């Protein structure tokens, strides 16, 4: 029997995406900050309680804005996890800051807060946390530590729509939070992002930075009689087409999330014997974190085991993929790293494998993946 391939990800429209795209095309406003941008921002703010949300073309752009708002520069240091995407680090390096990499927890890719005190110096200005897979870092400890030192806290919440630390949405806890709406995320518009500005003192400058360093937003609100160049900035506005798709997806977030959680739980149940046998580690959910079903992964014992498992799944038409590569080991930054070993980050680099998870994945397809993984481990 020929079975259809199961890709790692398959985005699809499940709401009013086509309707809103048609309306955007028929409008006389295709550039950014039109009606769909404003509706999407307002919906994010009302649903999740963010003080101010600014849509961006990507999470990378949102992190670029966060780096500008942090005012870090040459001589400053920023603590960042090594196990993350390069976009978490690049914006601060572009400002001239030194990145100090932190290791992951032994059983989860998130940053290990036990390391923070040893990593901080008199030059430390900010800490960037990345909530891997939509599972919260221990923000109670991190925020308390950062507040004692007067540090800016930035949340890379790229994976985190509808995920929480206790009762607080991820992205709302730090001074700034950043989100991704890349096609692999829970809600998507192809490429897209958002900056949540939780410190109201940063909001006016955030608007200026997004508008190429001008006070154009204030001009359109009638707050100034003309606009001009008042600060540094860049073009951080998405088009109305991206915002239209994103708004439609956001309106269906409850249905999307319910479906993804059901898939995640089916994986967890189907593969529950493997950790007991010592074959793999499955995702860990600490008591302070909620589940947003962004990713389902397993961690093998070695790189060689993961490579063989990937090949085994590929032969059966199943798309499973690894994830981040330790940034402290990268060709670009390893000579600038201080030489500390970060063994947990390296282990996730070598051994973490993500299984297919998307809203349209059928239960029968989940069962095929479970069967194939279980068969591999015998």
If we measure between CA atoms, which residue out of 293, 285, 292, 288 comes closest to residue 138? 288
Sequence spans of domains, the chain: 17-251, 253-377
How much of the chain, in percent, has pLDDT values that exceed 90? Answer: 92
Question: For the chain, what percentages of helix, strand and coil (3-state, to nearest 5) are there?
Answer: 40, 15, 45
Is the pLDDT reported for residue 48 higher than 80?
Answer: yes
- Could you tell me if 62 and 193 are in contact, meaning their C-beta atoms sit under 8 angstroms apart? yes
Per-residue tokens: 236: 């951080």
- Fold classification of 17-251 (topology level): 3.40.640
Cα gap 234→210, rounded to integer Å: 6
How much of the chain, in percent, has pLDDT values that exceed 70? Answer: 100
Is the pLDDT reported for residue 1 higher than 80?
Answer: no
If we measure between CA atoms, which residue out of 289, 298, 296, 290 comes closest to residue 264? 296
Calculate mean pLDDT across residues 2-28.
Answer: 94
Calculate mean pLDDT across residues 149-155.
Answer: 98
Backbone angles phi, psi at 199, to 5 degrees: -100, 110
Q: What is the pLDDT of residue 378?
A: 86
- Could you tell me if 310 and 318 are in contact, meaning their C-beta atoms sit under 8 angstroms apart? no
pLDDT digits (tens, 9 = 90+) for 106-150: 999 999 999 999 999 999 999 999 999 999 999 999 999 999 999
- Fold classification of 253-377 (topology level): 3.90.1150
If we measure between CA atoms, which residue out of 228, 230, 174 comes closest to residue 62? 174
Longest distance between any two alpha carbons in the chain, whole Å: 72
If we measure between CA atoms, which residue out of 284, 286, 295 comes closest to residue 139? 286
In the block, tokens 């330790």 appear at 326
Helices (H), ranges, 73-222: 86-94, 116-119, 139-149, 203-210, 216-220
Cα 130 to the center of its chain, rounded Å? 7
In the DSSP assignment, the letter for residue 6 is B
- Could you tell me if 285 and 342 are in contact, meaning their C-beta atoms sit under 8 angstroms apart? no
CB atoms < 10 A from the CB of 355, how many?
Answer: 25
Per-residue tokens: 245: 């798709």
Q: What is the pLDDT of residue 196?
A: 98
Cα gap 375→273, rounded to integer Å: 12
323 pLDDT band (50/70/90 cuts)?
very high
This prediction's pTM: 0.96
What single string gives the DSSP state of each residue in 32-45?
SSSHHHHHHHHHHH
Q: What is the pLDDT of residue 221?
A: 80
If we measure between CA atoms, which residue out of 102, 129, 139, 120 comes closest to residue 343? 102
In this predicted model, which residue has the larger pLDDT, 349 or 277? 349
């Amino acid at each position: 029997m020929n079975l259809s391939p199961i890709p790692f990800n398959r985005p699809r429209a499940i709401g009013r995406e086509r309707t809103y795209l048609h309306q955007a095309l028929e409008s006389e406003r295709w550039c950014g900050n039109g009606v769909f941008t404003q509706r999407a921002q307002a919906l994010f703010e009302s649903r999740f309680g963010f003080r101010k949300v600014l849509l961006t073309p990507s999470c990378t752009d949102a992190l670029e804005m966060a780096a500008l708002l942090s005012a870090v520069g040459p001589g400053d240091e920023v603590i960042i996890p090594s196990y993350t995407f390069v976009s978490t680090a690049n914006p601060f390096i572009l400002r001239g800051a030194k990145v100090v990499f932190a290791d992951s927890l032994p059983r989860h890719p998130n940053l290990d807060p036990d390391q923070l005190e040893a990593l901080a110096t008199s030059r430390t200005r900010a800490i960037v946390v990345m909530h891997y897979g939509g599972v919260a870092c221990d923000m109670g400890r991190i925020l308390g530590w950062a507040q004692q030192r007067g540090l800016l806290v930035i949340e890379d919440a790229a994976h985190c729509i509808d995920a929480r630390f206790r009762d607080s949405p991820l992205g709302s806890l730090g001074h700034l939070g950043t989100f991704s709406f890349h096609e692999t995320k829970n809600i998507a518009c192809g490429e897209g992002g958002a900056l949540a500005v939780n410190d109201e003192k940063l909001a006016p400058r955030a608007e200026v930075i997004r508008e190429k360093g001008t006070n154009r937003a204030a001009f359109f609100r009638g707050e100034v009689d003309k606009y001009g160049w008042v600060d540094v900035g860049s073009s951080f506005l998405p088009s109305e087409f991206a915002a239209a798709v994103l708004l439609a997806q956001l309106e269906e977030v409850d249905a999307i999330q319910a479906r993804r959680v059901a898939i995640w739980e089916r994986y967890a149940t189907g593969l529950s014997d493997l950790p007991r046998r010592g074959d793999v580690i499955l995702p860990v959910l600490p008591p302070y974190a909620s589940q947003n079903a962004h990713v389902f992964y397993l961690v093998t014992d070695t790189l060689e085991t993961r490579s063989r498992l990937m090949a085994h799944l590929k032969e059966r038409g199943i798309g499973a993929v690894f994830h981040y590569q330790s940034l402290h080991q990268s060709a670009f930054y390893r000579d600038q790293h201080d030489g500390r070993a970060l063994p947990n980050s390296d282990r996730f680099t070598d051994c973490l494998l993500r299984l297919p998870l998307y809203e349209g994945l059928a239960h029968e397809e989940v069962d095929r993946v479970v069967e194939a993984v279980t068969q591999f481990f015998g």
